[in-house]
Chain A
Amino acid sequence: MAYIRKRNRRIFLIFLLPAMLVLFLTTIYPMIYAGYLSFRSYDLAKLFVPRVFVGWSNYAEVIGSSEFIHSLITTFKLMAMTLSVQLVLGVGIALIVTQKLPGMPLARTLLMIPMMISPVIVGLVWLFLYFPELGYLNYFLSFLGIESIPWITSTNWALWAIAIADIWQWTPFVMMGTAAALQSLSPEPYEAAMIDGNSRWDVFTRVTLPQLKPVLVSLMFLRAIDAFKIYDIIFVLTKGGPGDSTEVLSMFIYRQSFTFWRMGVGAAASFVSLVIIVVLITLFFKSLQREQHA
């Protein structure tokens, strides 16, 4: 008996080992190393800069930096822009494509395409659309008599340009999750409401939405995490500009790490933003869930 248990434990370990090794090498070790870097002065390019322990000074610099605060605000701005539109559009489109109308299953499939494209490609596609002078978007707008818009070369538009590309790519995600939830809703309460004479708006806001809420909260939670990490599209479209109008956290970290080569500061900024994302998003969604259970 004891022998078997011992042997089982060994087999258990043997099976577990590869997965743990991969996890350690690809996730845990880099994180520990980044933590180590964040307390050091480490300039990858300037080999003459001494690589020494600097205590919390990288963290102090990050937290005290107006650029970091600005990038944090920009990140949350972008998050608010993309999430709100994705929520409204995603739910709206889901309401349409779940109707029993001809062509809707096909529409559902087609609408999912943007989601399957790599964000870099999405960025390039939108670069062609936004491109100053030669961009297709302004070309089409000109037919509508709309004067050309400096999508990615104006500080007023650039963040919207990023947001639109992100909305284009990720609304289908919200749409898909919402459509699945809608289709799982029982039709009978709707018939009851129809007979009772409840208005469509009442039915939508008081019957449909509350029932969708758990799904929508989860979808928004996932989108919020992604929005916090948005990088590829911005890198391709604006690289943080014009001015600092699209300078989000990931661009700040990228610039510190790979333009200034200050790996220590970059690592510290990564940890600070990790803490912020965990704390803020958890708090936000906890409060949403509390409200829901109340």
Chain B
Amino acid sequence: MSAITLNNVIKRYGAVQVVHGVDLDIEQGEFVVLLGPSGCGKTTTLRMVAGLEDVSGGELSIGGRVVNDVAPKDRGVAMVFQNYALYPHMTVRQNMEFALRPMKLPKAEVDRRIGDTAEILGLSELLARRPAQLSGGQRQRVAMGRAMVRTPDVFLFDEPLSNLDAKLRTQVRWEIGKLHQRLGTTVLYVTHDQVEAMTLADKIVIMRDGHVEQVGTPEEVYGNPRTTFVATFIGSPSMNMIEARVDSGRLVAAGLSAAIPARFADKVSEGQAVTLGIRPVELKIASGDEPGAMQAQVEVTEYLGNEALLDLRVGSHELVAEVPADQRADPGDMIHIRLNEAAIHLFDTASGQSLAH
């Protein structure tokens, strides 16, 4: 049985529709990340699951029960907010106690839950403090603790790391991952940060303009993006996209041409406008006489330690290549590159859909 099911879920504000028919199945214990740029509808979708927003259309089920009209408190979910949403006048302990209040548990049970949770999250020393006396990371742990004490069926996270600095973010991200492994509770997690998504998710749901672009494991969405949007959104630096045309069995773009990889041969037709996608790591430095080698001018070199990013001009195209740092060239140099043919992605330009399927 799925933990959460969204069936053609729609959100409308007046005449404006912001979430267009989202379908999604979340399995018990799964860590699902809603990923997308701001305004894509991911937070709205999460808030519909939480019950903070009404569902305008479609069906939302949690634990097999349709919850469209069920009050938030009766959905068995707990939520961790971007701004922590702690009660500023209460201590850490009181924050957790208040979350437990509606459950009317015996005092001993309340204390046990708070004690256990504090132990897990390393909050035991901080129980008597107020939020103002805590660091950002500690506050976020308290917010998680407050969600955890209720032992919900589903955890909802709304961009929980975006208020933390980079270093803390990595650490808390790691903690969230560990926590999930330990508790095994279903998690629905919203972020715009692909690194969080890739590291934490069992399943990533990539959204754009209120639509789901692709649902898949991190490997799937990285290795096999279904649309040009997913292709460019996942991966850093972004995938190079080259507008091309199928011409006499080759991919031809201004100033460059490449053979059509065999796996796409029967998926394209003569004259079709296609978009060729190639990740920066798949642009290899080549010698000039290698077959398929193209001349490129280095415009900018970004040294990152192990590797370097080269901003290249190939014909009229601007491409980025990620190369081992010791192979980097200086701005102004003319070099040769070649595409790793096996790593080429091909999309139909008109629809933006991948041609691999």
Name A's B-contacting residues (CB within 8 A): 186, 188-189, 191-199, 202, 206-207, 210-211
Contacts and interface: CB of A to CB of B under 8 A. Distances in A.
Given A197-B72, A202-B101, A188 B83 contact: yes
Contacts of A193: 98
Interface of chain A, main secondary structure? helix
Interface string B84-107: 111111100000001101110000
Nearest to A214: B89
Contacts of B89: 210-211
A36 B79 CA distance: 68
Given A188-B81, A211-B89, A195 B98 contact: no
Contact of A192 (B75, B88, B101, B146): B146
Contacts, number: 66
Interface residues of B, number: 28
Given A186-B83, A188-B83, A206-B98, A195 B52 contact: yes
B99 A196 contact: yes
Contact of B102 (A199, A207, A210): A199
A196 B52 contact: no
B336 interface: no
Contacts of A207: 87, 98
21 contacts: A188-B83, A189-B85, A189-B86, A191-B50, A191-B85, A192-B81, A192-B99, A194-B72, A195-B50, A195-B51, A195-B72, A195-B73, A196-B73, A196-B99, A196-B102, A196-B150, A197-B73, A197-B102, A198-B98, A206-B87, A207-B98
B160 to A, nearest CB: 12
A188 B160 CA distance: 13
Nearest to A292: B89
A189 B87 contact: yes
A194 B87 CA distance: 13
The 9 closest A-B pairs by CB, nearest first: A197-B73, A188-B85, A197-B102, A192-B85, A196-B99, A210-B89, A195-B72, A189-B85, A188-B81
Given A186-B83, A202-B101, A194 B52 contact: yes
Contact of A186 (B51, B73, B85): B85
B346 to A, nearest CB: 45
A199 B52 CA distance: 15
Given A192-B79, A210-B89, A211-B89, 15 more contacts: A186-B83, A186-B85, A188-B81, A188-B85, A189-B86, A191-B85, A192-B85, A192-B146, A194-B52, A195-B72, A196-B99, A196-B150, A198-B102, A206-B87, A211-B88
Contacts of A191: 50, 52, 79, 81, 85
B239 interface: no
A64 B150 CA distance: 63
B296 interface: no
Nearest to B88: A211
Interface string B56-97: 000000000000000111110111011111111110000000
A186 B73 CA distance: 20
Interface in B315-350: none
A276 to B, nearest CB: 33
B86 A194 contact: no
Given A186-B83, A191-B79, A191-B85, A196 B51 contact: no
A96 B262 CA distance: 69
Contacts of B50: 191, 195
Contacts of B74: 197
A193 B73 CA distance: 9
Nearest to A193: B98
Contacts of B86: 189
Contacts of B102: 196-199, 202
Contacts of A202: 98, 101-102
B131 to A, nearest CB: 10
Nearest to A206: B98
Contact of B98 (A186, A188, A196, A211): A196
A282 to B, nearest CB: 24
Contacts of A206: 87, 98
Nearest to B100: A196
Contacts of A194: 51-52, 72-73
Interface string B266-293: 0000000000000000000000000000
**Interface-centre pick from B75, B83, B89, B102 (highest chain A CB count, 10 A):** B89
A194 B52 CA distance: 8
Contacts of B51: 194-195
